[in-house]
Amino acid sequence: MARYIFGRTLRLLALAVWIGGIVFFGVVVAPAAARVFGTTERFADFIGYSILMLHAIGMWCGIAMMVSLRLVYDRAYKPMAQGVLILLMLVLTFASNKLIILPMEHDRALAGGNISVLLTGSPIREDFDARHAWSTRVEGGVLFCGLALAVLIGFEAGLRERITTAPPRKVFDLSEDDA
């Protein structure tokens, strides 16, 4: 029982941290950084570092969720689907980090640290903008997978009621049986 409680708690905590981090980054961090820094080199440094840290946190949370899913496998709702979603989140995060974010940082370095100084038709600027569009799509995919995983985990709460063989308790008995 303790293994199940530990595994379920770890999985929920890791999912909340990962998905919460993505939402917090998109809703609070990026807009606030744009407002404070404008589109300067400091803004790009801050966002680049933040997204790399977000990905590192996501990778560790994904590992924790895989381990915890193993701990609760026999009581999990659709554990294979949960494992596939977690693995997909890990792959998307890794791919975003290595194939999108790091090349964007390279493009930015080629531009002297500030991509906004390049003309719109510049090949470096076009590559950066295309990768930026892909990064938001991939992060959205990770978020969608995380929400689907949350739904599957949510169904586990109802498993206790379905597994129980005892008849339901009567809280109020309004029948007029005198027996």
**pTM exceeding 0.85:** no
pLDDT digits (tens, 9 = 90+) for 28-52: 999 999 999 887 888 888 998 999 9
170 is a domain residue: no
pLDDT of residue 13: 95
Domain holding 6, by residue range, is 2-156
Maximum C-alpha span of the chain = 89
90 is a domain residue: yes
47 is a domain residue: yes
pLDDT digits (tens, 9 = 90+) for 55-75: 999 999 999 999 999 988 888
For residues 127 and 64, what is the distance between their CA atoms, to the nearest angstrom? 34
Provide the H-helix boundaries in the chain.
Answer: 2-24, 30-37, 41-71, 79-95, 102-110, 123-156, 159-163
Side-chain-facing half-sphere of 149: CA atoms under 13 Å: 30
